[in-house]
A and B are shown apart, each in its own frame.
Chain A
Amino acid sequence: MLLHWFMAVGILGLFGLGLYMVELDYYHQWYQAAPNLHRSIGVVIALLLLVRLVWRLVNPMPTGLGKRWEVIIAHWVHRLFYGLIIGIIVSGYLITTADGQSVSVFGLFELPALLDGFENQEDIAGEVHEWLTNTLMVLVALHALAALKHHFVDQDATLRRMIGRKG
């Protein structure tokens, strides 16, 4: 649950930072720092996602509240979330590493370029990164609306459970 909110804040922050950094002027003080931060937080999100997926494997999943079809959709939405986030992380990594450069994470360590560059790698990866992110953000909005619906319309415990309150 804590993991969920860390990732939520991180991903929304990355979305905003991404939109902001691509519009920066070359002489802007943040021109280099913003992309560095974006790449670093992206790697942290990747690690958090890994922890979350392992957690999911070794712990029983909480039972969803609501109608049967709602629970089924919720499962698929979660899988779609994981798929999109993985896709966004991989495509972001492929932009930076297209010419064999490594990804520096807060200047602490470097992720090396693993894939041999394919033709126009940074451009294709860039488009994929953008479109997967737009899709993710639409899904995030629906996800948030659904959570509010559980809380206000169904008046069940879904949202309360997610902020750490029992029932």
Chain B
Amino acid sequence: MIFKKTVFSLVLALGLVSANVQAAEHYQIDIKGMHAFISFKVKHLGISWLEGRFNRFKGSFDVDKANPSNNKVTVNIEVASIDSNHAERDKHLRGKRFFDVKKFPKASFVSTSWKDLGDGQSELVGNFTLRGVTKAITLAVSKVGEGKDPWGGYRSGYVGTTTLNLSDYKMKEGHILGAAADEVQMRLSIEGIRQ
């Protein structure tokens, strides 16, 4: 009887532990329905904003509501999918003088820490790799919403923003453009579907 009880509580305990492990919800970024956008803007001659986006990427994130510091985000971007709505510029951006996509086809972000700042705001730090250069970057993340979708799934969405410096990524053209176009504002607007 005692033995039975012990086994029972052991099973219960194991169950709790595994429940704890599974407490993080896993989300895939919705790229099928494409409810996700990775866009950028950079100053043109210091006069106006030039905007564009990356059309092809994929990624996932884990949300641990009990312990947000366990949250994780991974995003992989196909650099050649850059789109600034001007074919000749895009060709130039993919070339050797900018992103050199033949040599460096992928850019990636892998989170290393998530700090909940309360009120739906968080600070996300991770390693960003672009053009073979890996740098730790910080994104200001704000939660947009979550809930059931009408088709039987569960979704949650965030917006993350950060500023990159072209000079960090060894682009010849970035060097030529100089300080006027060094800062690039990035914005990741993503919706994940819970798995």
Nearest B residue to A99, CB-CB: B87
Bound-complex Cα distance A96 to B90 (A)? 11
Q: Which residues of B contact A134 (CB under 8 A)?
A: none
- Check B176 against A95 for contact (C-beta < 8 Å): no
Chain B residue at smallest Cβ distance from A27: B176
* Contact yes or no, A95 B91, CB < 8 A: yes
* Contact of B87 (CB < 8 Å), options: A25, A26, A97: A97
Contact with B along A52-87 (1 / 0, CB 8 A): 000000000000000000000000000000000000
Provide the A91-129 mask, 1 if CB < 8 A to any CB of B, else 0.
000011111010000000000000001001111001000
Rounded to whole angstroms, the CA-CA distance of A50 and B82 in the bound complex is 37
Minimal Cβ-Cβ distance residue in A for B178: A27
**Residues of B142-195 contacting chain A, CB below 8 A:** 173, 176-177
Given the complex, which residues of A lie within 8 Å of B177, measured CB to CB? 26
- Which residue of A has the minimal Cβ distance to B85? A99
User: Is B94 part of the contact surface with A, judged by Cβ < 8 Å?
Assistant: yes
Number of interface residues of B (CB under 8 A): 11
B173 nearest in chain A by CB position: A26
User: Which of B85, B87, B176 has the largest count of A CB atoms less than 10 A from its CB?
Assistant: B87
Q: Nearest-CB distance from A139 to chain B (Å)?
A: 26
Q: How far is the CA of A126 from the CA of B88 in the complex (A)?
A: 9
Question: B87 contacts which chain A residues (CB < 8 A)?
Answer: 95-99, 101, 117, 121-122
Distance A120 CA – B90 CA, assembled complex (angstroms): 10
Q: Which of B88, B90, B94 has the most CB of A within 10 A?
A: B88
> In this assembly, does B29 line the interface, its C-beta being within 8 Å of a C-beta of chain A?
no
Q: What residue of chain B has the Cβ atom nearest to residue A98's Cβ?
A: B87
How large, as a class, is the contact surface on chain A?
Answer: 10 to 19
Of A101, A117, A126, the residue contacting B91 (CB under 8 A) is A126
Q: Which residues of A contact B86 (CB under 8 A)?
A: 99, 101
Which residues of A are found within 8 Å of B80, using beta-carbon distances?
120, 123
Closest CB-CB distance, A99 to chain B, in whole Å? 4
A123 close to B176 (CB less than 8 A): no
| Chain A 16-27 near chain B by CB (<8 Å), digits 1 or 0 | 000000000111
Which residues of B sit under 8 angstroms from A96, Cβ to Cβ?
87-88
Complexed CA–CA distance, A103 and B94 (Å) = 22
- Alpha-carbon gap, A11 to B99, bound state (A): 31
Contact B176 A122 (CB under 8 A): no
- The 19 listed contacts between A and B (C-beta, < 8 Å) are A25-B176, A26-B176, A26-B177, A27-B176, A35-B88, A95-B87, A95-B91, A96-B88, A98-B88, A98-B91, A99-B85, A99-B86, A99-B87, A99-B90, A101-B87, A117-B87, A121-B87, A122-B87, A122-B91
Given known contacts A95-B88, A96-B88, what 16 new A-B pairs fall within 8 Å (CB)? A26-B173, A26-B176, A26-B177, A27-B176, A95-B87, A95-B91, A96-B87, A97-B87, A99-B85, A99-B86, A99-B90, A101-B86, A101-B87, A120-B80, A123-B80, A123-B94
